[in-house]
Amino acid sequence: MLNKKKINQKFLEDGYYDFGSILDKKKCLELKKFIDNNRPCNKKIFYKSRKEFLNKGKFKNYSPGTRDHNAIYNLNINLDFIEKSKNFIKAVETIVGKKYSIKKKSIIRSVPKHIHPKWASNITKDIGRPNVNPYIKRKFQDVQYFQNIDFHQDMTRGKKFITFYIYLDDVREKDSPLKILTGSYKFGATHYPHYIRPGSEKKEWFYSNLSGDHMKCRQIDIYGKSGKLFCFHGLNLHGTALNFSKTPRISLRYLIQSDKKSINKSCLGKSFKLIKGKNVENKKLPNKMFFQRLDRDSDGSFLKTGTSIL
């Protein structure tokens, strides 16, 4: 039985909640195996060389869409065992209310360092958020591939939502677990790269909104067994380190919205009242980049800005 009051207090304070491994582990592992068989993650899915990438690759429309070019739909994956399970529904309702919609769902794969081709690693070196999809052949891009990901926000376009994350396999430190900076959502939308600096204590960070306000955040690393479900605010800073395991981590990511008429009564709606700042930072700069992402060039390619996580 979920304690709604306790969960809401925790979420409003820290911007995340870990529900534990509450989903059907057997079915999660079966889905993991199915994805492994139908969307393998190995060196063969990458372009063979930098030259081939420059000829065939592109920095636009390379990630799974809401429904188009999305492996969940392309492979006719039935997720009723998750979305219609009592545990999932109760967990979601606790945060967003009983009336909600799934904005997007996608498969996430953390690519182990040893799989990443050297030519691609040379390109992504010192890039804070190295989305791997541009370097992967088009037919495999209906899954979202990442290497390490610097601390960032999911909610960058002003639409209010929460991220629910599901581990399909067991995740330990070497498997590239998600890392969350507690309470960081309260500064609202800030541009990437975010102004964060390590503190003197282990897993302690200082975060600034560059308007004179500073916040000390704890870094929480999310480990767990297959079937683990957790959520975090769309503006909470989060990221992952490099994957040093032999196998790619497989997860599901759900972006979920409250019904417009009931959001203000939900825990998610209340969280936006605690924000000191904007829900979106989207000013257009002279070089045609948007202020939310200062790590992108005008052609969509990624700029080398360094990273806080390796």
Question: Per residue of the chain (310 residues), what is the pLDDT tens digit?
Answer: 789 999 999 999 999 999 999 999 999 999 999 999 999 999 999 999 999 999 998 888 888 999 999 999 999 999 999 999 999 999 999 999 999 999 999 999 999 989 999 999 998 899 888 889 999 999 999 999 998 899 999 987 767 899 999 999 999 999 999 999 999 999 999 988 999 999 999 999 999 998 899 999 999 999 999 999 999 999 999 999 989 998 889 999 999 999 888 898 999 999 999 999 877 666 666 655 566 777 777 777 788 889 888 7
Nearest to 57 by CA among 131, 129, 108, 5: 131
End-to-end, the C-alpha distance of the chain in Å comes to 38
Alpha-carbon distances of 122 from 19, 130, 192, rounded to whole Å:
38, 11, 22
Nearest to 196 by CA among 152, 162, 154: 152
> Strand 100-110 and strand 144-146: pairing?
parallel
Whole-structure pTM over 0.85, yes or no? yes
d(CA 296, CA 281): 15
CB 294 within 8 A of CB 283: no
Count of H helices and E strands in the chain?
8, 12
d(CA 111, CA 244): 9
Q: What is the spatial order of strands in the sheet that 228-233 belongs to? A: 16-21, 228-233, 162-167, 249-258, 100-110, 144-146
Check the CA dihedral 111-112-117-123 and report its sign: positive
- Residue burial 82-94, b: 16+ Cβ < 10 Å; e: rest: beebebbeebbbb
Check the CA dihedral 156-161-162-165 and report its sign: negative
| pLDDT at residue 285 in the model | 60
**Domains in the chain, CATH or no CATH each:** 4-272 (2.60.120.620)
Q: Which residues pair with 112 in a beta bridge?
A: 243
